[in-house]
Amino acid sequence: MLSQERVERRLAAVLAADMVGYSRLMRADEKGTITRQKALYEELFDPEIAKHNGRIVKLMGDGVLVAFASAVDAVECAVEIQRAMVERDAGIPEDSRITFRMGINLGDVVIDGDDILGDGVNVAARLESLAKPGGICIADVVFNSIKGKLDLGYAALGPQGLKNIAEPVLAHHVLLDPEDSGKLVEAKNARRPRNRHKFLVAAGIVAVLTIALVWWRPWVRLIEGDYASQLPDRPSVAVLPFESLSQDKEDEYFAEGISEDIIVGLSKVSGLFVIARNSSFAYKDKPVEITQVAHELGVRNILTGSVRRSVDQIRITTQLIDALNRNTLWSEQYDRKIDDVFAIQSEIGERVTKALSVTLKANEQERLFRTHTKSIRAYELFLKARKTHIIANPANLARAVGLYEEIIELDPAFAGGYAGLSVVLSVSVRLGHSSNPAVDARRALEFANKAVAVDPEFGWSYIALGSAHIVLRDADSAVTAVQRAVELQPNDADSLLWLGFYKAFAGRPESGIENIKASLLLDPIPNARQYFFLGNAYYAASRFKNAVTAFEKWDELSPNPHGVVLLAASYAMAGDNAKAMATVKRYLAKSPEFKASAWNFLQNYKLAEHRDLILQGMRNAGFPDGSD
């Protein structure tokens, strides 16, 4: 039986306008920007919209949505506003001007109280993103309604594929210069073929080149053959770093943080194979071909997206692509208040698992993107702090401490602040930056335990706890802590990596090697740390040739004292005395006071047999003993 509820629909011309660089302007002068924006609406937008029989549907922080009864009114109003904006800001420095992009569509809309919904609105919003700053982009249906009626010129863009819109939409730029009146030109980036014969020739050339590329580039052939057979035995996905559409480069940390948190959330699902941040972020700021990226990372599916934020609004667009079949499995655009970012992350995680037909266990359903703080400011600071100490020099560590302390003040129930402080203190002790290692090691343990106490489901707390136990020379407790992180996040490469590292210290190197190898499957573009951890476990297991291979790769990427010492010892134990001696000579040239028996790193190992094994390798390599 059909529903008796009636949905009110209406044909309307919809104008979507968005302020360019809103976040940047607000950060530079929040009060001044709000004052200018308010004056702009009162003195320009409101009178022009009223003059052209329009109605403001909604005002957003960085934009406005307007409905008109006719396309002529909508375009004429937009043109008057954009031309007036140029005169209005003529004396203002370019980087301080308020500029809008505008998109206009004519279509069916659903009336929902004072709001309007539907594809008529969605297309206008998508066209706005195609417009140039200070420009207007209109749908072909609008162009056909106004041509010959307004003294304007137009540049045809051709068919445009718009997100979440099933069919391509023909679009046009409005030429605002009065000298272009009456012109109809084709834009430089138009997609419409000018000549069918030329188009067919070009298509033929493309087909030939495609065949040649498939023959020449092995990854294209593998995608249909060997690659498919080498995929994991469960649904697999890589989350590429979301693009920040903000003009403020400092906002990149926010887009990266959202991507990273989506990775962490998906890693909690045992039925998924999720590529680690380290490998997926290797493609940041690089042009990517989805099929090639999928092959290189060993997954079938790729999640991409972008983030655009203002002071209190956020727009996240994302799509999940099956690289094997080159199909888009799911895509969505979220336009929400900034406080809804946690809910958006949760929705993305749920939609990805549904699109990949993954059945969530009861505890996974609850854990998936569990909100660990309700404070958006604390969350922003956490993202910024986490990125700050990736390069762990004293200055960065000090900055991170200040950020984590501020997080605790903002939200004492958020484990991220305590876990962060613990990690920074442990790293300071481990790298020799601490002025009082004994005190800082104890403080690291206290903060890690506090993090676990306030939120037992926050996986990073257990990584922090493991690190604190290591600097206190308690490898068994470190293993126990990180095993809990793996239980919470079974597909988290970092948790598996740290578990393997600590097992080598705890006297269980063979088991540690298996954990590290499992981590490398999830993180197929290894970094220096992974090679160091693997080499350390191989050495403790007396697999010296494997240790040499791992430490040589590590030495290429990031030489530091610990790695060079263990590389020299590995050479000696593997029987390559010449390379061992050369490596010792290289190290002692920088650290002539070094004595093997006094090397602090040895104390990480629980078992005397492992400490003796490393000392033996160091002595065989030619390091001075110093035990006399």
Hey, is 447 helix, strand or coil? helix
Rounded-to-integer distance, Cα 579 and Cα 621, Å: 9
pLDDT in tens, 497-519: 999 999 999 999 999 999 999 99
| Average pLDDT score over residue span 287-316 | 86
Beta bridge partners of 9: 110
How close are the terminal C-alpha atoms of the chain, in Å?
Answer: 95
Give the separation between CA 549 and CA 512, rounded to whole angstroms.
Answer: 17
Q: Which residue has the higher pLDDT, 91 or 356?
A: 356
Among 29-33, 80-84, 479-483, the least confident range: 29-33
Residue 389's pLDDT is what?
A: 84
Residue with tokens 């979301």: 242
The reported pLDDT for the residue numbered 163 is: 61
Q: How far apart are CA 190 and CA 550, in angstroms?
A: 51
Which residue do the tokens 């290894």 mark?
526
Answer yes or no: are the C-beta atoms of 16 and 121 closer than 8 Å. yes
pTM of this structure: 0.61
Residues written for the chain: 628
Contact predicate 102/136, CB 8 Å: yes
Beta bridge partners of 68: 13, 54
Q: How confident is the model at residue 225 (pLDDT cuts 50, 70, 90)?
A: very low
Written as one letter, the residue type at 45 is F
Q: Tens of pLDDT along 103-160?
A: 999 888 887 777 788 878 888 888 888 888 899 999 999 998 898 888 899 998 888 8
pLDDT at res. 627: 63
Q: How many CA atoms lie within 13 A of 517 on its CB side?
A: 9
Could you give the CA distance from residue 596 to residue 101 in angstroms, rounded to a whole number?
66
Share of the chain above pLDDT 70, in %: 88
Helices (H), 489-527: 493-505, 509-522
The phi-psi region of residue 542 (left if phi > 0; otherwise alpha if psi is between -120 and 50; otherwise beta) is left
Residues 233-262 as b or e (16 or more Cβ within 10 Å = b): eebbbbbbbbbbebebeebbbbbbbbbbbb
Structure token digits, residue 97: 């001007």
CATH topology (fold) of 9-186: Alpha-Beta Plaits (3.30.70)
Q: Which residue has the tokens 């922080």?
A: 61
Structure tokens at 95: 């980087």
Give the span between the Cα atoms of 264 and 142, in whole angstroms. 45
Please tell me the predicted confidence (pLDDT) of residue 3. Answer: 42
Name the one residue in this structure whose structure tokens are 């040239």: 589
Which pLDDT belongs to residue 612? 95
Residue showing tokens 């991507």: 259
Window from 341-355, 415-429, 453-467 with minimum mean pLDDT:
341-355
CATH of 231-367, one of 3.40.50.1580, 3.40.50.10070, 2.60.120.620, 3.40.50.720: 3.40.50.10070
Whole-number pLDDT of residue 455: 92
The pLDDT of residue 228 is 52
Name the β-bridge partners of 318.
305, 332
Question: CA 591: distance to chain centroid?
Answer: 40
Give pLDDT, residue 474: 96
Sign of CA dihedral 261, 263, 264, 269: positive
- Strand residue runs (E) in 89-242: 100-112, 115-117, 136-139, 153-160, 169-175, 184-186, 236-239
Closest by CA position to 420, among listed 377, 389, 453, 456: 389
Pairing label, strands 54-60, 63-68: antiparallel
How far apart CA 260 and CA 492 sit, in angstroms, is 11
Q: Identify the CA nearest to 477 among candidates 506, 448, 457.
A: 506
Q: Which one-letter DSSP state was computed for residue 317? A: E
SS3 sequence, 130-153? Answer: HCCCCCEEEEHHHHHHHCCCCCCE
Whole-angstrom Cα distance, residue 506 to residue 275? Answer: 27
Parallel/antiparallel/unpaired status of strands 243-244 and 301-309: parallel
Q: What is the pLDDT of residue 164?
A: 60
For the stretch 548-569, what's the b/e string if a residue is b when 16 or more beta carbons lie within 10 angstroms of its beta carbon?
Answer: bbbbbbbbeeeeeebbbbbbbb
- Alpha-carbon distances of 116 from 5, 68, 130, 271, 315, rounded to whole Å: 17, 12, 22, 40, 19
The per-residue pLDDT for 250 is 66
Q: Say if CB 580 and CB 560 are below 8 A apart.
A: no
CB 137 within 8 A of CB 130: yes
Which are the contacts of 409, defined by CB distance < 8 A and separation ≥ 6? Answer: none
Among 245-249, 389-393, 435-439, 562-566, the range scoring the smallest mean pLDDT is: 245-249
Lowest mean pLDDT among 50-64, 306-320, 355-369, 458-472: 355-369
| Domain layout of the chain by residue ranges | 9-186, 196-227, 231-367
